[in-house]
Structure 1
């Protein structure tokens, strides 16, 4: 799969249209030199298919490259159809896709004129793995990964007191440490107050845009009125995976009868598995003891790979 670079666009300030400069330097773990969106984060470079812009212009939009805030316009590649983790080679430069689409916080002039903006659902984002100069006319190809993308995870802590700074979050870091020790790449950690609205929003954003293999939440699974993590998780679910939550409760009952009061759920949205964990570091680790060994098989299936379901437990 390959395409041709049709525009290389920069802007000096965020929230403004970019200008096609024709040629620029891609710096590793930074982005395009001179662009306001460059930095040490996962959205260093934005890309949009020239074919999508052409189809939008055919409806009377009359927009030029950079109008959507995109850095690179490429003809011949449908970025939206590629998975997160795709490697894109352009000369010596190598990009890795990190996000598909984005939330539109403030509607741009294009949206107000056309009633739609294609960047939120057609644009993708990448980080720079290897640097180099990129210019209009260069060929961009999809490069095979030398090894499978490591399993990626996000961790969300739900706690009013921790979010307010009244108490240190110890559960989130404990989960992160456990995941990293198991070889996961933790792409985001979030600390939210208890409640449904923010958690539902972040779960949708993560699953639909960043697309990690696994999301673990901690807290908000009890009987208190603001313990609504299960309800927020069920609200974004496309499929349920009840066996994981059931196994956690069954194992926890052997430790304390209060485990019967846990209301955590486990569900699937897209290709992401979401599991609710209790609020204490000890209970989080005990819960992860139950399911972590089975995750490689489960997450490989979610990615769509064929595995041997008869393989011994823990040997996938």
Structure 2
């Protein structure tokens, strides 16, 4: 199965979920056109409160549809866009990508910067969901399953059905960390 885009979402408001769109446009160095998190500096409210001048490493949020499949087995009915992602993929181990991996979708290129850090808002959306997307493993390490974040290296239009190609960065594999 070829890796592909399942759905795309954007919202100009700072809401938890984002409505599904027919297509989104990625803007080089900025993010998703018209999305509340678009910009060169941080836009997530908690990050702005800490330091509004920090670079925005969270311009694009991607989640793998396989997470929704796993959550369905746990009794949750989650659809694309409901967890706030901009791009829902299938057929890519997003969480296993190295830092700096490049995702090419049509003309657009997204550089993966790190893991999304799910917060308690997820439990406001669906009680008990947080423990399924962020938890501690047997060794006590935090496991984050809420998708990955990235920045737009090359702009372009992204829509469902488009193939996603992964290019690993040069050098050693650097595991994704929370951004």
TMscore range, shorter length: 0.7 to 0.9
Aligned in 2, Cα 1:108/1:15: closer, same or farther, shift over 3 Å? Answer: farther
Give me the whole-angstrom Cα distance separating, in 1, the residues matched to 2:119 and 2:62: 16
Give me the whole-angstrom Cα distance separating, in 2, the residues matched to 1:115 and 1:143: 31
What is aligned with 1:135? Answer: 159
Kept in 2, the 8 Å contact 1:4–1:138? The answer is yes
Q: Which has the higher helix share?
A: 1
Give me the whole-angstrom Cα distance separating, in 2, the residues matched to 1:103 and 1:135: 25
Aligned in 2, Cα 1:92/1:208: closer, same or farther, shift over 3 Å? Answer: closer
What is aligned with 1:22? Answer: 22
Match among 65, 69, 72 for residue 54 of structure 1: 69
Aligned in 2, Cα 1:107/1:16: closer, same or farther, shift over 3 Å? Answer: closer
Question: What value does the CA root-mean-square deviation take over the aligned residues?
Answer: 2.5
Kept in 1, the 8 Å contact 2:122–2:129? The answer is no
Higher relative contact order (CA 8 A, sep 6+): 2
Kept in 2, the 8 Å contact 1:102–1:121? The answer is yes
> What are the within-5 Å matches in structure 2 for residues 164-179 of structure 1?
none
What is aligned with 2:133? Answer: 118
What is aligned with 1:209? Answer: 178
Deviation at 1:60, TM superposition (A): 1.6
Give me the whole-angstrom Cα distance separating, in 2, the residues matched to 1:55 and 1:84: 24
Aligned in 2, Cα 1:128/1:63: closer, same or farther, shift over 3 Å? Answer: same
Give me the whole-angstrom Cα distance separating, in 1, the residues matched to 2:104 and 2:98: 15
Query: Aligned to 1:54, what secondary structure does the other structure show?
Result: helix
Aligned in 2, Cα 1:208/1:91: closer, same or farther, shift over 3 Å? Answer: closer
Aligned in 2, Cα 1:10/1:108: closer, same or farther, shift over 3 Å? Answer: farther
Aligned in 2, Cα 1:27/1:115: closer, same or farther, shift over 3 Å? Answer: closer
Deviation at 1:22, TM superposition (A): 2.4
Unaligned 5+ residue runs, structure 1?
153-206, 211-316
Deviation at 1:144, TM superposition (A): 4.3
Deviation at 1:138, TM superposition (A): 0.2
Kept in 1, the 8 Å contact 2:122–2:130? The answer is no
Kept in 1, the 8 Å contact 2:119–2:130? The answer is no
Deviation at 1:108, TM superposition (A): 3.5
Query: Aligned to 2:92, what secondary structure does the other structure show?
Result: coil
Kept in 1, the 8 Å contact 2:83–2:122? The answer is no
Query: Aligned to 2:70, what secondary structure does the other structure show?
Result: helix
What is aligned with 1:68? Answer: 83
Deviation at 1:79, TM superposition (A): 0.5
Q: How many residues align?
A: 153
Give me the whole-angstrom Cα distance separating, in 2, the residues matched to 1:118 and 1:70: 14
1:180-208 deviations in whole A, cap 9, x for unaligned? Answer: xxxxxxxxxxxxxxxxxxxxxxxxxxx94
Give me the whole-angstrom Cα distance separating, in 2, the residues matched to 1:115 and 1:109: 9
